[in-house]
């Protein structure tokens, strides 16, 4: 259990694992803003979305205990990390949950697959201001230097002003040294195409590797996160956990007569 503190409590997680360069860069960018508690997967959990672990026992291992920084590794998913931290480690709700910095973009519909954003959505469900940060580079040794300013600025603002109930932020950062600023956007409509490479194993059996590319269905739009990133801006999409298509409830009311 983290001791009671008058400082803001910041819970940090990710999906690339507790030793990833991205989460270390995130912690460094946040240093001094409060008591930082890292609870992150003990290895890579990319693409884990909002997955939870109902069928295996979960473990927490304390790996660092410094002033204002405690780090735990967990054998679960990013969402497990958030749930366990809130339920078993922290004696009060944290003031902020941050996830990342992800090695790779989580713009557009990638929010549906992202473990980074799974953790953020979980924070949102329990009404803690939550922000996911992703750098648009899958390089494990990516340069997070130009991200630091934006991470600290956005996190500080959310710590100070909070977020509306039911809303969290999906922040993506272009992998360029010359970032032009911030754009608040909507999620781009699109899908992943040509997604598998078929190969044959040494005993003649087929197997498939996930691959493919994002197909943007609205490349001309200038209010989307894909557009902002392409233009060299940090994109911020305010996201919500209510997935209801409210505008269509009346349209589908006829199903009640079936």
List the interface residues with its own copies, window 89-148 (CB under 8 A).
Answer: 109, 111-113, 115, 118, 121-122, 125-127
Q: For residue 17, how many other CB atoms are within 10 A of its CB?
A: 16
Torsional sign, CA 20, 23, 29, 35: negative
Q: Which CB, 31 or 191, lies closer to its own copies?
A: 191
CB of 28 to its own copies, least distance (A): 19
Footprint (CB under 8 A) of its own copies, residues 39-68: 44, 46-55, 57-60
> From the CB of 105, what's the least distance to its own copies, in Å?
14
Per CB under 8 A, contacts with its own copies among 181-220 are 181-187, 189, 191-192, 194-196, 198-199, 201, 205-210
68 vs 221, beta carbon nearer its own copies: 221
Q: Least Å distance between CB 71 and its own copies?
A: 17
Which tokens is 119 given? Answer: 């953790």
Q: Which is nearer to its own copies, 8 or 17 (CB)?
A: 17
Residues paired with 198 in a beta bridge: 208
Give the residue from 102, 99, 110, 123 showing the smallest Cα distance to 187. 110
Backbone angles phi, psi at 178, to 5 degrees: -105, 80
Nearest approach in angstroms of CB 107 to its own copies is 12
Task: Identify the residue whose tokens are 């909002």.
Answer: 50
The answer to whether the beta carbons of residues 25 and 144 sit under 8 Å apart is: yes
Residues 1-20 that bind its own copies (CB under 8 A): none
Nearer to its own copies, 50 or 94 (CB): 50
CB neighbour list of residue 29: distance below 8 Å, 6 or more residues apart: 147, 148, 151, 152, 155
Written as one string, the DSSP assignment of 105-119 is: ---GGGGGT-HHHHH
Binder to its own copies among 3, 178, 220, 256 (CB under 8 A)?
Answer: 256
- CB of residue 245 to its own copies, shortest distance in Å: 4
- Please report how close the Cβ of residue 41 comes to its own copies at its closest, in angstroms: 13
Residue 185, C-beta contacts closer than 8 angstroms, at least 6 positions apart: 223, 224, 225, 227, 228, 235, 236, 237
DSSP 8: P
Of 5-13, 27-35, 93-101, 242-250, the window that binds its own copies (rule: CB under 8 A) is: 242-250
What is the C-alpha separation between 243 and 205, in angstroms, rounded? 40
Supply the minimum distance, in Å, between the C-beta of residue 13 and its own copies: 16
x/- binding map, residues 18-37, to its own copies, per CB under 8 A?
A: --------------------
């Amino acid at each position: 259990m983290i001791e009671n503190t008058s400082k803001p409590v910041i819970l940090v997680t990710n999906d690339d694992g507790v030793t990833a360069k991205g989460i270390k860069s995130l912690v460094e960018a946040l240093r001094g803003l409060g008591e930082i508690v890292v609870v992150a997967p003990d290895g890579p959990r990319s693409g884990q979305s909002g997955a939870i672990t109902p069928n295996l026992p979960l473990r927490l291992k304390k790996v660092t205990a410094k002033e204002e920084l405690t780090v735990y590794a967990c054998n679960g998913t990013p969402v497990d990390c958030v749930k366990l931290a809130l339920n078993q480690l922290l004696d009060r709700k944290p003031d902020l949950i941050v996830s990342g910095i992800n090695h790779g973009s989580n713009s557009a519909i990638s929010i549906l697959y992202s473990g980074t954003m799974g953790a953020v959505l979980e924070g949102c469900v329990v009404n803690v201001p939550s922000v996911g940060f992703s750098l648009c580079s899958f390089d494990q040794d990516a340069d997070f230097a130009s991200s630091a300013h934006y991470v600290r600025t956005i996190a500080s603002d959310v710590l100070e002003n909070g977020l509306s109930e039911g809303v969290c932020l999906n922040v993506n950062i272009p992998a360029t040294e010359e970032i032009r600023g911030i754009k608040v956007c909507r999620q781009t409509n699109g899908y992943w195409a040509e997604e598998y490479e078929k190969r044959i194993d040494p005993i003649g059996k087929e197997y498939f590797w996930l691959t493919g590319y994002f197909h943007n269905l609205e490349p001309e739009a200038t209010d989307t996160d894909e557009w902002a990133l392409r233009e060299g801006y940090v994109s911020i999409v305010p996201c919500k956990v209510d997935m209801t298509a409210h505008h269509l409830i009346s349209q589908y009311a006829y199903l009640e007569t079936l």
